Amino acid sequence: MGKKPKNLWLADPREVLRASEGFDLATVDRNSSPGWDGGKKEAKALMKSRAALLPELQERLFAEGRTGGKRSVLCIIQGLDTAGKGGIVRHVMGAVDPQGVALSSFGVPTEEEAKHHYLWRIRKALPPAGSIGVFDRSHYEDVLVVRVNDLVPEEKWSKRYDEINKFEEDLVKDGTTVLKFAMMVSHEEQGLRLMERLDRSDKHWKYNTGDLTTRAKWQEYQTAYQAVFEKTSTDHAPWYVLPADHKWFPRLAITEILTRTLSEMDLNWPKPRWSVETQRRKLAESMSTESLITSLEETHDNVESAMADSIEVRHEVAAIPGIDDAQAAEVAAARKEAWLEEIDAAVAQKETILRDRADLPKKLKKKLKKKAKG
Footprint on this chain of ligand ADP (rule: CB under 6 A): 81, 106-109, 137, 141-142, 145-146, 151, 208
Name which of 9 and 106 has its Cβ closer to ligand ADP.
106
Name which of 88 and 241 has its Cβ closer to ligand ADP.
88
Query: How many C-beta atoms surround the C-beta of residue 338 within 10 A?
Result: 13
SS3 assignment, position 326: helix
Tell me the closest approach of the beta carbon of residue 231 to ligand ADP, in angstroms. 17
The amino acid present at 247, given as its one-letter code, is: K
Tell me the closest approach of the beta carbon of residue 141 to ligand ADP, in angstroms. 3
Tell me the CA end-to-end span of the chain in Å, nearest whole number: 35
Tell me the closest approach of the beta carbon of residue 235 to ligand ADP, in angstroms. 26
Tell me the closest approach of the beta carbon of residue 117 to ligand ADP, in angstroms. 11
Tell me the closest approach of the beta carbon of residue 20 to ligand ADP, in angstroms. 27
Name which of 106 and 229 has its Cβ closer to ligand ADP.
106
8 A C-beta contact, residue 148 and residue 224: yes
Residue 24's contacts (CB-CB under 8 Å, 6 or more residues apart) are 226
C-alpha distances in angstroms, 147 versus 26, 165, 191, 221, 223? Answer: 19, 17, 23, 9, 10
Name which of 208 and 279 has its Cβ closer to ligand ADP.
208
Name which of 144 and 353 has its Cβ closer to ligand ADP.
144
Tell me the closest approach of the beta carbon of residue 84 to ligand ADP, in angstroms. 11
8 A C-beta contact, residue 92 and residue 179: no
C-alpha distances in angstroms, 319 versus 35, 50, 301, 303? Answer: 16, 9, 27, 25
> How far is residue 118's CA from residue 109's CA, in Å, rounded to a whole number?
9
Name which of 106 and 240 has its Cβ closer to ligand ADP.
106
H/E segment holding residue 289: helix 289-309
Name which of 98 and 107 has its Cβ closer to ligand ADP.
107
SS3 assignment, position 330: helix
> How far is residue 271's CA from residue 269's CA, in Å, rounded to a whole number?
6
Bridge-based pairing of strands 132-136 and 72-79 is parallel
> How far is residue 122's CA from residue 268's CA, in Å, rounded to a whole number?
29
C-alpha distances in angstroms, 249 versus 47, 85, 252? Answer: 11, 12, 5
Name which of 25 and 146 has its Cβ closer to ligand ADP.
146
Tell me the closest approach of the beta carbon of residue 153 to ligand ADP, in angstroms. 14
Tell me the closest approach of the beta carbon of residue 122 to ligand ADP, in angstroms. 10
Tell me the closest approach of the beta carbon of residue 30 to ligand ADP, in angstroms. 19
DSSP state of 255: H
For helices 362-373 and 325-355, the axis angle rounded to 10 degrees is 130
Name which of 141 and 245 has its Cβ closer to ligand ADP.
141
